Structure 1
Amino acid sequence: MSQINKYGYNPLIRIPSVWLLLVLIVSNSCQNKREAIQPEYRELTESVYASVIVQPDSLYQVYAIVSGILDKNLIEEGDPVVKGQNIIQVINNTPKLNTENAKLQLQLAQENYSGRAAILNSIEDEILSATLKYKNDSTTFFRQKNLWNQQIGSKAEYDAKKLNYELSKNNLQLIRSRYQRTQSELLTALKQAKNNLATTQIASEDFTISSKINGNVYALYKEPGEIVNTMEPLATLGSKNRFIIEMLVDEVDIVKVNVNQLVIITLDAYGDQVFKGRVYRILPKKDEQNQTFTVEALFDHQPTKLYPGLSGEANIIIAKKDSVLTLPISYVRNNQVETESGIKDVETGMQNMEFVEIISGINANTKVYEPDEL
C-alpha cells in the first residue's frame, strides 16, 4: 500500500532520483580530480636498443690442417704473439716417411732422365745402330736401283734391296718416336716427383702452426699428448688492444641504423659507467634463429681493461631534435589523446622510451588526461 506524506509525495518514489544525483556528483568529482598535463618542449633523442658483446678485433680460431699428436704449446694463454710466430707444435711420423719416400722417387726420376744408366741412353744407342743400318741399306738400294735402270741384275735382287731399305727407314722412325715419347714421360715423372716432394715438405711444415696476426692468445684448447685433427680448434687469437662492439639489432629496427651513428654503451662489468662509440659496419646477413642483424661499432675512448665476451647494452642514436613538443608515451594511444574537450587526433613524430613528439593536433596549452585503459 502506498504511503503518502503530509506534502502529498510518496518518499519511496524520490529515492532513485536522489541516488542518481549522488552518482553524477561523485562521478564529476572524480573527473575533476584526474590530473591533467600539458605538452612540453624538450630535447628528444630517438634510439635503437641492442644487446652487446665485446670481442677483440681480428678474432679467429686456430686449426691444424693435418692430424697428429700435440707435442707442445709454444705459448701460454694471455701471451702476446707476432705474425709468423710459431705457437703450436704437432708431431706425426707419417709425413717424415712420406718426405723420405718422395726424395727417393725424385732421385730415381732424375737418374732415369739424365743419369749414367738413363733409359734414354739405351734408346740413343738403338737410334745410332738403326741409323747406320739405314744408311747402309740406303746405299745398297740406290746402287742396285742404278744397275736395274741399266738393265743389270735381277728383279728379285732389286726388290730385296728395296725392302731392306724401307724396313730400315721405318725402324729408324719408330725408334726416334719412342725416344721422344720416353723422354716426355720421364720428364713428366721427374716433375711429378719434384711436386710430390714439395707437397710432403709443406705437409711436414704444417705440423708447426704459426700466428697469422699480431695480437694476443685468448684461449688454448689442447694439452700436450692429446690427439689433434682438422675439425677441432687448437687456440683462439685476436687483437691485443683493439676491441669491437658487436650489437644484435632486431630486424624491425635495422633499416634505421647507418654507419657513423653515435652509440651509447653500458657494460655489466663497469656498472653505470657510460661509454660512447660509432657504428662502423653493418653485417648484411640476418640470423634466422633470433631474427637479428649484427652491427659493429668502435669505442671513441676504449676502457683501459677489456676481455673477450664482456656483455652489456647499447642504444644507437638514430635521430635527435633540440626542441620539440612532447607528451609522455602513456598519454598517447593510437595517435589520439584525451583532452578537456574530448578525444583529439594527433600527428606524432619521433619517440624514445619515455616521450613522443607531437607534430600537430594539440598545442602547448592543451590539457591532456592519461587514459585509464587501452
Structure 2
Amino acid sequence: MVRLLHAIFLMFLLISCGNEQEKTYPVKTGITESVYSSVTIQPDSLYQAYAPVSGLLDENLVEEGDLVAKGEVIAQIINTSPKLATENARAALDLAKKNYRGSSGILSSIEEELKAARLKYKDDSINYYRQEKLWAQGIGSKATFESRKLAYELSSNSLELLQKKYSRTEDELQTQLEQAENTYRLALVNTRDFSVTSKINGKVYALHKNPGELITSSQPLASIGKEEDFVIEMLVDEVDIVRVKVGQPVLLTLDAYGDHVFEAEVSKIYPEKDERNQTFLVEALFTEAPEVLYPGLSGEANILTAKKDSTLVIPRAYLVGKNKVKTKDGEVQVTVGLESLDSVEILEGITAETLIYKPKE
C-alpha cells in the first residue's frame, strides 16, 4: 500500500512539473538589430566585354586567369556581314576608274568624236573662207557660198557642243569616281578586323566564346574584373532596405570558410529594385578579406542596423503577437524597440521585476 501511494505521488509530481508553464524575467543587457541577406562574392569592377560588331571570332588572345592591362587586346573579330557590299563597292570603283581613265572609256569615245568634229570644222572653215573670197570676187554661185557657210556654222556648233559634252562628262565621271572611292573605303572599314580591348587593369575571369563562332554585338565575349579587390553583393528585401545605410557594419559567413565570421562595411546601395525577387542590391567591402577568394562564392550576412549596450530585453518567443506579453495578471501591452533574431527590446509596459510567461504554441 505504501509503495502504491509512493508511485501515485511520483506520477502526480511528474504531471505537475510537465504542465508548469515556462516563465522568465526581463533582463538588462545589450541588443543588436540586423538585416539578413544572402551573399555572393564578385571581383570589383567586374564587367562584360562585347564585340563592337557582329562577325566571326577569329582569335582569343588571352586565357581565363590571365592578367590584362587597360587597352590590351583580348580578342580579334572579323566582320563578315558586309563582305558582299565590299565586293560590289570594289567592282563599282573599278568601273568608275575605267570610265574616267581607261582607253575604252566614255571620255575616250567622246575624244574620238571631238577629233572627227575638229577635222570637219577645219575642212568646212577652209571651204567657207575660200568660197567667201571667191564670192567677193564675183566668182561662183550664191547657193554654193551659202551652202559652204551653213556647213561651216554647223561644224562650229557641233564642235562646241562636243567640247561642252566632254567637260560635263569629265566632271560627272570624276564625281562618280570620288563617290565610288568613298563607298569602297567605308566598306573596307566595315569589313576590317575589329579588336576587343580591356577597359581596366585586371584579370580575365571567363571567356564566353570560342574561335570560329559567329557572334553578335549583344553577346558578351569575356568577363573581366580587378585581380585582388572583391566586393560583397547582398540582396536585401524591400521590407528591410529602409534600415540599411552606407557605412553600417556587416558580419558574414562564407560556405567555403565554414563558421568563420568575417567583418565588412556597407559601401553602396543600388536604388533600383529587382522586380523579379523584390530585393535591392547592396554592396559591402571586407574590413579584412580572406586570403583566397573566387567569383561566385556564396554565404550569408547580417547588416547591423542598430545597437544598444544596455536596455530591457526579453526573449522573442515570449512576445504575444507584435506588442503583448503574458503576465500573472493576463496579457499586457508593451512598446517594442529593437529586435534581433531571438530577442526583443521593451521600451514601456513592463519592468525587470515583471514575471512573464511563454505563450503556448
For structure 2, the 5+ residue unaligned runs are: 1-11, 111-159
**Cross-structure match for 1:296:** 283
| Aligned residue among 253, 259, 279 for 1:266 | 253
Q: Distance in 2 between matches of 1:39 and 1:248?
A: 34
The verdict on how the C-alpha distance between 1:368 and 1:88 changes in structure 2, with shifts beyond 3 A counting, is: same
Structure 2 counterpart of 1:201, one-letter code: V
Query: CA 1:199/1:330 → structure 2, altered by over 3 Å: closer, same or farther?
Result: farther
Where does 1:52-91 land on structure 2 (aligned, <5 Å)? 52-91=39-78
Aligned to 2:296: 309
TM-score normalised by L of structure 2: 0.68
Alpha-carbon distance between aligned partners in 2 of 1:277 and 1:187, rounded to the nearest angstrom: 68
Query: Percent same amino acid at aligned positions?
Result: 50
Is 238-247 or 218-227 further displaced after alignment?
Answer: 218-227
Opposite residue 355 of structure 1, the aligned amino acid is S
Check whether the contact 2:207–2:223 (CA below 8 A) recurs between aligned residues.
Answer: yes
Distance 1:321 1:224, change over 3 A: same
Q: Give TM-score scaled by structure 1 length.
A: 0.66
Aligned counterpart, 1:324: 311
Is the 1:112–1:186 contact (alpha carbons within 8 Å) kept by the matching residues of 2? no
Report the residue type matching 1:224 in the other structure.
P
CA distance in 1, matches of 2:340, 2:51: 50
Contact map agreement 1:73 1:224 (CA 8 A) in 2: yes
Q: CA deviation at 1:344?
A: 1.4
Count matched residues. 299
Residues 328 and 185 of structure 1: is their aligned pair in 2 closer, same or farther, counting only changes over 3 Å?
farther
Q: Which runs of 5+ in 1 are unaligned?
A: 1-24, 123-170
Matches within 5 A, 1:93-132: none
Aligned mates of 2:287, 2:279 — CA distance in 1:
25
* Paired position in structure 1 for 2:9: none
The reply to whether residue 197 of structure 1 matches residue 193 of structure 2 is no
AA aligned opposite 1:242: D
**1:284 matched to 2:271:** yes
What secondary structure is seen at the aligned counterpart in 2 of 1:66?
coil
Rounded to whole Å, the distance in 2 between the matches of 1:260 and 1:312 is 20
What are the superposed Cα offsets for residues 33-77 of structure 1, whole Å, 9 maximum, x if unpaired?
434211111111101111111111222222223344333221111
Question: Shift of residue 347 of structure 1?
Answer: 0.8
- Of 181, 188, 199, 1:212 maps to 199
Root mean square deviation, CA, Å: 4.2
- Go from structure 1 to structure 2 and tell me whether the alpha carbon gap of 1:109 and 1:327 turns closer, same or farther (over 3 Å shift): farther
1:83: Cα distance to partner?
1.3
Q: 1:58–1:238: 8 Å Cα contact kept in structure 2?
A: yes
Does the CA-based 8 Å contact 1:77-1:219 persist in structure 2? yes
